[in-house]
Structure 1
């Protein structure tokens, strides 16, 4: 049985917060070290199986929880002033700095799952970062969802989500059967982006700096799952199209190519989908 004792506990000093992470040491001679930025509302424990698997293949992995969430929750959720920008920019940048300190030598990689892949255009990278891989990260609008999923999305953004958050002063996701609890500021900003055709554009110059889509940097891969209903391929392609032509290696993953019935959005990191992990890691 996999235990957290297989990883080293790490404290990440972020701007305005202290985050708790786990570092999975690579087996044998290290090939690379990566930081895994998680999806909104997905605790780092969900990525443990993938992290252990990668570490066994010589790739050290740093996982962590965003401020006021998971292991990084130090106060009542309703007292949190965290925003999605805090998570996507400040916390991710801090985790990348910490990885560079943990791994004083060797190649550095970044994997960003969903929200975890949206913040990198707002920052510069250590010269040792060689590769950025985003998985299911895109400029999603609620109209992108297939009809089978759209009622759930509409309820999340326009009915039970806003009502529950307004009443509780945080998103009571567990009580509403909508996933994990989230700080109110995270939910409201997430909602603002996903119901706007311009996504985060209205926050540029307010809580966000101007993203540098044209900057040179690490190798950039953007992966999408063909059956992802949460951040559908059209939303990932929209994000990829923000970069200069030829900058992004965009790829749609088909479940059948791996002998799997589905990949999903969150589920792509589940152990039942381990056959796709080599593609997520390095191909």
Structure 2
């Protein structure tokens, strides 16, 4: 099935922030619609090949840049007031509402990558989703990191982030291969939550005043790679524990089994791993 050309659009949040997004519309009426929740500091273009695949499977799809990232940077990153909480409370709900406008009266799903799957409990409209499927979404807790990665993780979280924020007014993540430059509040919350337990749970009662994690009962699938230094199996279960009433299916992928050199935290969405993508669509198809 061929797809229509991707269409760049603007998503307007409740607080009037405008986000850059891309819509992928199948030539036949969409059977269901999917929003792709990006990882921290990752631009929407990173998910284009995966979104095109989903579209060819008959899904309407939206990708987007969170505020302060990529096409959604207004002015300079240093001036951005974005935080992980505003991504979950403002950006993601607005993207879902936009998806509903473009593809009305179909089931809606989230495919979350890392932060894109961690923050959905902050969405006021999360119950409009039928199910979700995450890859590499975990608590990122430093206490569960493999010893071989622990020093690197501590360096980035507890030295690089505060020093970069102090010197530049934001975190220059791109200098250490960690995606786009990050607004200082995003990086600061990321640091705090990864030093805690349950990731976003660390912010309950302080950074996070309202959430829906305890009322989410929809089906979910959590994919991870066994060569992912961040979203290891302990951290995935640590994140799932934040959803006390949710159905969760966990599948761990071994790169050797699928004849790829590595999957890690990022490669699932690359074309080299496209033979893994039916794991997402096969799961989603159970629910419409």
Evaluate the alpha carbon distance shift between residue 181 and residue 126 of structure 1 in structure 2; reply closer, same or farther with a 3 A threshold: closer
How do 1:1-283 residues align onto structure 2 when only pairs under 5 Å count? Answer: 6-16=5-15, 17-125=17-125, 129-197=129-197, 199-244=199-244, 247-283=247-283
Contact map agreement 1:240 1:250 (CA 8 A) in 2: no
Structure 2 segments unaligned to the other structure (5+ residues): 284-288
- Structure 1 residue 187: deviation in Å? 0.4
Evaluate the alpha carbon distance shift between residue 86 and residue 128 of structure 1 in structure 2; reply closer, same or farther with a 3 A threshold: closer
Evaluate the alpha carbon distance shift between residue 7 and residue 150 of structure 1 in structure 2; reply closer, same or farther with a 3 A threshold: same
Contact map agreement 1:146 1:229 (CA 8 A) in 2: yes
Instruction: Look up the SS of the partner of 1:160 in the other structure.
Output: helix
Q: Separation in 2 of the partners of 1:254 and 1:173?
A: 28
> What is the TM-score of this pair, normalised by structure 2?
0.89
Q: Separation in 2 of the partners of 1:212 and 1:175?
A: 35
Contact map agreement 2:216 2:246 (CA 8 A) in 1: no
Matched pairs, number: 279
- Structure 1 residue 144: deviation in Å? 1.9
Structure 1 segments unaligned to the other structure (5+ residues): none
Q: Deviations over 1:207-265 (max 9, x none)?
A: 31344334254322222222111221211111223334772122222223323232111
**What is the aligned-residue RMSD (CA, Å)?**
2.1
Contact map agreement 1:141 1:194 (CA 8 A) in 2: yes
Mean Cα displacement is larger for which, 183-192 or 20-29? 20-29
Evaluate the alpha carbon distance shift between residue 161 and residue 128 of structure 1 in structure 2; reply closer, same or farther with a 3 A threshold: closer
Contact map agreement 1:108 1:131 (CA 8 A) in 2: yes
* Misfit runs of 4+, over 6 Å: none
Give the aligned partner of residue 286 of structure 2. Answer: none
Q: Which has the higher helix share?
A: 2
> What is the TM-score of this pair, normalised by structure 1?
0.90
